[in-house]
Amino acid sequence: MTKFTLKKSLLIAILAILPMTFFGQEEPQNYWTIGIEGGATSLFSDNDAFKLDKTSWNAGLFAGYTFSNSIYIYGNIGYVALEGELENGFNIDECNLFQANLNIGYDVLQLFRLNPHRFIGIVPHVGFGMMEHKTKTTFNDGTIVKVGYDEEGGSKGSGIGGRRHVYQNPFGVNFLFNISKHFQANVDFVALKTDTEMLDCHYDGKHSDWYGYANIGIAYKFGQKNSRKPCPECPPCEPDQDAIDKAIADAIEQYKADNPCPEPEALMEAETEEADTTESLNAIVYEEKDIHLTFKVGKTEVEDTQANNDEVTKISDDIDNGREIDVIRTVGYASPEGNTQQNEQLAENRAKSTANFIREKLGDNAEGIEFESEGMGADWDGFYAALENSNISNKAEIADTIKNSENPTATLNQMKAKYPALNELLNSLRRTQVFIK
């Protein structure tokens, strides 16, 4: 394989990986990693005829700490075997080393907010370290040179078994893949500059020797801590529940004003030659019952919690106290972060689920009661009202940005990553209203 072929292979790999940058990554977190890696190594040295068919191998361990999913500080230790030759010059019979490096890198994808949920990172990194190596090279004239050997004819160093200490600087780029919350895979391409010309036992006085590797690894992530701090301008960074309840009530009143319930129709009299008949046709008048049944995100079944059971008990108590109920009407809503079709289906199913939940909890008291249900889709009005009455910073800017967006749902989902308090508002919109007559 030639250098040109290597460059083409790297270009193809990068072009294959780049589309994956549009997928998911969690909220910014600080965490520790520990892992193993290994792969192919190649010796650059000062060989003009550097050959990839002399590629060898390496393996090692690494551990480090990551700040906000973007700044990586890690160290690694490992064993590296190298091979190489210079045509009409020499052949390296043996070359291996122990290495230890400390590196720092930055995920450049954090500079581009393409998608807050991507699962890949591209981390250029640099570092500093040292190695202990030994090399045995046979030249074409039969001369054998040994560096780092504690034996006759060897140039002994101060390291393990006579190995020589050499400093080095790694430069590379690491492609990270978040497999799950606790596991991360990586593909690392690294070139290492050494401060010796004797890595291949050939001294020409021109430049230092280099070697490189391409590794595949896997790491375990632990100790995750969210790096997002509460904003100092609003210490709790939590929405005011009273304000949310008021905003929802205002939205309900607005909805009722825009969509009035049927009023009682006047008594209608119909006279015929055969008989005088008076019929009263009374349209249903509903009274809103102040109960709140909750749902999990994306779910349509009412949570069987004590709080929800207590809410339905309010209706049952009315019946036990002598109130006659003819109709119970449930109206379902969805929070607006999903697509339109999904929200309409969620709202409709939540309304039906609420009716079934109330019927089941009322038991015998449900006899003779007619149940009706209706889905209203995404509750955008409730969201804007709740946002206006919250203590979230920049709430006016958030509302304007979403309203003026070509895709309000997508914009809302992006805003959730920047303003986590929006999730509390959205939770309160996954609800049903209950009306009784």
**DSSP, res 43:** E
Q: How would you write the pLDDT of the chain (437 residues) with one tens digit per residue?
A: 444 455 555 566 566 555 544 444 445 678 999 999 999 998 876 655 445 457 899 999 999 999 877 899 999 999 999 988 887 788 889 999 999 999 999 998 877 755 545 678 899 999 999 999 999 999 989 899 999 998 877 788 888 889 999 999 999 999 999 888 789 999 999 999 999 888 888 887 777 888 999 999 999 999 877 665 544 444 444 555 666 666 777 777 776 676 665 544 433 443 334 334 333 323 334 455 546 676 776 677 777 777 777 777 777 777 777 778 888 888 888 888 877 888 888 888 888 888 888 888 888 888 888 888 888 888 888 888 888 888 887 888 888 888 888 888 888 888 888 888 888 878 878 888 888 87
Token pair of 406 as six digits: 């070509």
| C-alpha–C-alpha distance, residues 56 and 323, integer Å | 86
Nearest to 174 by CA among 37, 8, 12: 37
**DSSP, res 320:** H
H helices of 122-240, where? none
Nearest to 95 by CA among 155, 158, 144, 148: 148
Task: Give the other-Cβ count within 10 Å of 205's Cβ.
Answer: 6
Phi, psi of 287 (to 5 degrees): -115, 130
| C-alpha–C-alpha distance, residues 95 and 47, integer Å | 15
| C-alpha–C-alpha distance, residues 285 and 279, integer Å | 18
| C-alpha–C-alpha distance, residues 34 and 77, integer Å | 12
- How far does the chain reach from its first CA to its final CA, in angstroms? 83
| C-alpha–C-alpha distance, residues 197 and 207, integer Å | 7
Token pair of 170 as six digits: 């790694």
Nearest to 98 by CA among 160, 171, 36: 160
pTM exceeds 0.85 for this model: no
Nearest to 51 by CA among 14, 5, 12: 5
Work out whether strand 431-436 and strand 56-67 pair parallel, antiparallel, or are unpaired: unpaired
Q: How many alpha carbons lie under 13 Å from residue 412 in its C-beta half-sphere?
A: 19
Domains and CATH numbers, the chain: 3-226 (2.40.160.20), 241-436 (3.30.1330.60)
Work out whether strand 210-226 and strand 29-43 pair parallel, antiparallel, or are unpaired: antiparallel
Token pair of 188 as six digits: 């690392």
